[in-house]
Amino acid sequence: MTDADLREELVRAARAVKQRGLSHGTTGNVSVRAGDSIIITPTACDLATVRPEELAAVSLDGEPLTDAVPSKEAYLHAAVFRNRPEASAIVHTHSLHATAVACLAELDVQDALPALTAYYAMKVEALPVIDYCAPGDRRLADLAGSAARRHATVLLRNHGPVIASPSVATAVDVAEEIEQTAKLFLLLQGRPSAPLDDVERRRLFEATTARERKTR
């Protein structure tokens, strides 16, 4: 894929994030790997209107390579890419319900959301919580990077989810699934709920990833 193709693909994904209600104002950022560099949405951009020529590029260390100023989360994206070679794209949002879950006092930090539906189980293996650090803080990048060795999806405390994926379209789908499950989880607060058991969850996730591997 050429640089122009990657930029077009990234812009389509950015629009989808906004259209699916996963980002408000100028929040959220999307990136794709382009060889030894990363193309990423610029700082303070509206994902609905950003144009391919406005995208920024950073090195795999997160250092800017273009005049366009990258999102301040670029170091976090770079750390996840360095630690997760199979990832080609990252979506990070502040979507409402997932962020609400990230603010709960009582949270399972190993896995913030139960697999309430089969669709969540197919897409999300686990959603560990990363300790709070201010946005753009290098420590946040280090923590997310080390979690990325084992996990494709993480939830930043008091902040929002980060999704790494082999394709940017899939990363947006997973971001949407996390948001929907967070909404269900909050709807069910105060009532006993019956998530899928661990065996069924694992079976669904592995069957889905095996199928995706075949079609890739």
Instruction: Label residue 203 exposed, middle or buried (CB < 10 Å: 0-12, 13-18, 19+).
Output: middle
Provide, for the chain, the percentages of residues in helix, strand and coil under a 3-state DSSP scheme, each rounded to the nearest 5. 45, 15, 40
168-187 vs 3-19: helix axis angle to the nearest 10? Answer: 20
How far apart (Å, rounded) are the C-alpha atoms in residues 95 and 28? 8
Q: Identify how many contiguous H helices and E strands the chain contains and give both numbers.
A: 7, 7
Residue 191's CB is within 10 A of a number of other CB atoms, namely: 6
The residue whose two tokens read 């290098």 is: 138
Closest to 24 measured CA to CA, from 94, 127, 85, 123: 94
- Residue 83 is inside which H or E element, if any? helix 74-83
Q: For 56, which DSSP code? A: E
As annotated, the active-site residues are 73, 119
